[in-house]
Chains A and B, each alone.
Chain A
Amino acid sequence: MAADVKLAINKVSKGFPGVQALDSVSFEIKSGHLHALVGENGAGKSTLIKILAAAAQRDSGHILLDGVPYNPRNPRDAFAAGISTIYQEFNLLLTRSVMSNVMLGKEPRRIPGIVDFKAMSLKTEEILATLKAGHIDVTAPVEELTVSEKQLVEIARALLNEATLFIMDEPTAALNRQEVNALFEVIAVLKARGATILYVSHRLEEIFQLADTVTVLRDGAHIRTAPIGEVTADSLITDMIGHRLEAVFPERNPSLGEEILRVEGLSTSAFTDVSFALRAGEVLAVTGVGGSGKTELGKALFGDFPIRAGQITVNGEAFRADPSSAIAAGVICVPEDRKVEGVIQNLDVKRNISLAMLGRVARLGVINRAAERAVAGAQVRDLGIKTPSLAQEVGNLSGGNQQKVALGKWLAAGARVFILMEPTQGIDVGVKFEVYELAARLSRKGAAIILISSELPEVLGLAHRVLVMRSGALAAELDGLTTDAEEILRHALGADQ
């Protein structure tokens, strides 16, 4: 027993409606260690972090911090106990200065109520200097800083608060190579000061470079905690995937048609130089971890993310990426955030379905209401949308039924290329398989499908081809029939390098 236990997690469980996010998870984090936490999407990493930061409450189990029961009621309690969480989305006041952010709530005063700005800037500079970040102007508003500088401001704030346990959620996801190296130096400084770090990352090479210990979670369960020397990239990936029961997916469309869509050298701020072609009747999955650029690729194809370079052709014709032109060319997108972007909550089922194709049920701009009802009614029947009436507001339907409405409006409009963004995220298993059936049916009818998904089972179960993205570039193009989860993860995580 070389090191003391900093944090002992004992049989912690947390359930959300329909899913057990954490199932009796137990492991220990040793004092002064950098403890890596890995797992696929949905493994329970975020939930665990939220519980430690008190952004969520556990259902059962207990946690000891420095041997004392740790029962924070809110994030302030966690902060006061010395646990600082650096999320991917920072908790900073963007328009306020660096020093105001670092010293927030601890502003030095000489006279009560009057902030001593001189002392404030000196103190902030001192802390930043210990992080080798003396170059940051403490009076600059935080919104002018780069991502890595914002991260340093968060860390400085945690240091000022005398945090002893730092939780870092994908800290390198948005950093370039140089910034990553700078962050690693900061991590070395923190460790030298005796801090303990819980480090969540998808990038296995970083974990082998930094970690003392690694814990693997899968489907909410604890799989393994081991010193880094006892694991390999391959063993970690095997632990992350496990041996799942194969779900029954509909058969893939056997006869692919002509090329329908071609993307050449497409670049945006989130990815560069992506090229691929798509045939009628084909299901092409695009997968990758968060920050890989897959979401932005889906949006860019539909004109919802600005394109910097490259071109898209549909049926051999140049294609202008904006939603109305895309729809006119037969390319549609079912967005990831269905409640906000896929449907309009306070409009009724009928209008949500007909909205994208009102022109076809109208003459001279006047809507033929009977025709509109017929079109919407047909989709409600075909898709089995559970709604008391066509006049029901969509906001009152369940998530799965809202997703069916979001899909139904494009079936009514009759598209040829479907971009489905995380189409089964957050919907229950039954509806999930209805969505899979629908995708397979569409492809048999000759529609091409681009499935942007983080869910490996559906990628493997549906796709003819799989594009894997990593750090804003295409990492691999794999045959959907022969590839497996291990191969995809290897490319997505960069374990092949």
Chain B
Amino acid sequence: MNKSLSLDRRKIVYFISDNGFIVIFLLWCLFLTIRTEGHFLSGGNLSTVLRQATIIGIVAIGESLIVFLGSMDVSVASNLGLCAVVVAACLVDYSLPPLVAVLIALGVGALVGLVNGLLSTFVGINPIIATLGMMIILDGLGLNYTGGRTISGPEIDPIEFLYLDKVGPAPVPVILLFVAYAVAYFVMHHTMFGAHIYATGSNEKATWLSGIKTRRVRMYAFILSGLMAGFGGIVAAARRGSASAAMGGDFLFPILTIVILGGISLSGGRGHILKVLVAAVFLMSINNGLILLGSVEIEKQRVLSGAILIVALSLDRLRHMVG
């Protein structure tokens, strides 16, 4: 009797620590739908929420890989900002063709990831410290190039379709978001690379002793993290039609929030990539809901976002305490 009771409690704790935020998310949606008399669920509003989730959602895929491995890349947002500047500069200052500009920006993002990977695997610096240093360097590089100006001009128009256009009823960024997550899901669950990420994040020594080059796995994860940050930067430039050195900073906190909220364990090896997508949508629906409800003050949004991160982290600990 007693035993089965405690077992049930354990199951509930596991369910909450795994899925708690989804329950909160659904309750929030229900609450908003009632308060806004259905406006929250209208096609227009939903597509706004999803579009807003695109940039952080895409960059969070790369960050999730790093967190799966038990570390963290805090340079992703600054990398995003620099890549936005790079793509805008290529188009406006150097008049390069849009495709070339996009490829250069992606290349810069991946290169930053490569350097992060080298520093944290082969040089052996703690990844958080290495990427923190990288974050400062990237911010500095952006500022040095722009000198504080905002790069804008009609030359950016050719890439704006990435955020503004629609294919049928679906906005292009939402298509990008879903395709990116479909690919990420496939990679994590059906490929050797995904298996190696899970194994390395769970137990690097045992994985290495199984003949897997775990340092190489880490390198690839950092490169992909940089590449996705570059991709996010391009979409961010497309969204604003301009780029400035400071634009990356605002993204760091939401990206980390949704990765952790999505249940990617900070101690590595556990989590499901699709929950990060749900978390991205959830976070955007909070901001969206607060606007719909008429309390737009940014201060309130910040308090709520911070509280959600702490709740998510507490749920992560709950599993450790009971498990």
By a beta-carbon cutoff of 8 Å, the part of chain A in contact with chain B is 302, 304, 323-324, 326-328, 333, 335, 340-347, 351, 355-356, 358-359, 362, 365-367, 369, 409
Contacts and interface: CB of A to CB of B under 8 A. Distances in A.
Contacts of B196: 358
Contact of A340 (B199, B203, B211, B269): B203
A333 B208 CA distance: 12
Given A340-B203, A341-B205, A366-B191, A347 B198 contact: yes
B208 A342 contact: no
Contacts of A367: 190-192, 195
B192 A359 contact: yes
B209 interface: yes
Contacts of A346: 202, 269-270
16 contacts: A323-B210, A327-B210, A341-B205, A344-B199, A345-B203, A346-B202, A347-B199, A355-B195, A355-B199, A355-B210, A356-B212, A365-B192, A365-B193, A366-B192, A367-B191, A367-B195
A302 B193 CA distance: 24
Nearest to A302: B209
- Most chain B CB within a 10 A radius of its CB, from A304, A340, A367: A367
Contacts of A351: 195, 198-199
Interface string B184-200: 00000011110110110
B191 A326 contact: no
Interface of B: 190-193, 195-196, 198-199, 202-203, 205-213, 269-270
A355 B204 CA distance: 13
Given A366-B190, A367-B190, A340 B205 contact: yes
A201 to B, nearest CB: 32
B274 to A, nearest CB: 18
A426 to B, nearest CB: 17
A369 B190 contact: yes
A324 B212 contact: yes
Contacts of A324: 211-213
Contacts of B190: 366-367, 369
Contacts of A359: 192
Contacts of A327: 210-211
Given A342-B206, A344-B206, A355-B212, 10 more contacts: A333-B209, A335-B209, A340-B203, A344-B199, A344-B203, A355-B210, A356-B211, A358-B192, A366-B191, A366-B192
A304 B210 contact: no
A358 B196 CA distance: 9
A355 B202 CA distance: 13
- Most chain B CB within a 10 A radius of its CB, from A343, A355, A362: A355
Contacts of B211: 323-324, 326-328, 356
B193 A323 contact: no
A152 to B, nearest CB: 32
Nearest to A338: B206
A466 B233 CA distance: 64
A342 B207 CA distance: 9
Contacts of A323: 208-211
B98 to A, nearest CB: 31
A359 B190 CA distance: 12
A415 to B, nearest CB: 10
Contacts of A328: 211
Contacts of B198: 347, 351
Contacts of A344: 199, 202-203, 206-207
A194 to B, nearest CB: 47
A365 B199 CA distance: 16
Contacts of A347: 198-199, 202
Contacts of A366: 190-192
Contact of A365 (B191, B206, B207): B191
A345 B209 CA distance: 14
Contacts of A345: 202-203
B184 to A, nearest CB: 14
Contacts of A340: 203, 205-206
Nearest to B270: A346
